[in-house]
Structure 1
């Protein structure tokens, strides 16, 4: 499965449309995971025109997302368990919050957003991955999103796609 991972799109405030480099990748997606702070339903509608969409809500999302999605999700995909959350909350860092949120879950990878800071590291045998944002890079040098390849009984393969808008 070819999975595209996005977070913190904050549309339409930060962008009127998804960047072309992201839309090109979405055309080949089997699944799209959004990690929250979609902002408006328009983002969901655009994403689902490319592939099935799942995800979680973030701290700035409208009621539609809170009604349709949870703040935490565990996906079983091709013999892999994937933890998904936005990462907002009080106290601790975003990374510390997501680790605590999945402390008692048997997941190989934790996907999260909120900070807009791309991250890919291992922590206690799990992969922690934040795709950054394709529309609101804040202090980062590049915009970004993630690509995940999921194959039964094979290690997960995840990477960032970094880009600058033209």
Structure 2
């Protein structure tokens, strides 16, 4: 249904936290009004700025759908307007449980003991950089620390007043 460079998968089996996120968008977009423009284009009045949803290109004028890969409120309202039972159809395939599980299906072998490591010749042992002892430029920051219970404030003296 949706053409373009992005792959949207018609699978409603999304990761657990994403279903809650989409449900929050559904609740927030209940009062929005949809008007059809063309075959796959819709105008959504969300009470503020209008959203233009184009299913043929897989775009929305708010850019949330393109950037996050999850349906924005405008897409959700249009899918409800079209009578579709689940708007998770418009989420990118990378958010499905199948893709998430396939990410971790390879075995990860633990590292052996450090004494068994094979270290190639010619490696240089790097040391951390030396500590910076030079005072940084600019006005020093004020120490506005909250005093502990019973702690007396430390008096601050100006160098010129000591002369």
TM bucket by the smaller chain?
under 0.3
- Greater strand share, 1 or 2? 1
Larger radius of gyration: 2
TM-score (norm 1): 0.28
TM-score (norm 2): 0.28
- Greater helix share, 1 or 2? 2
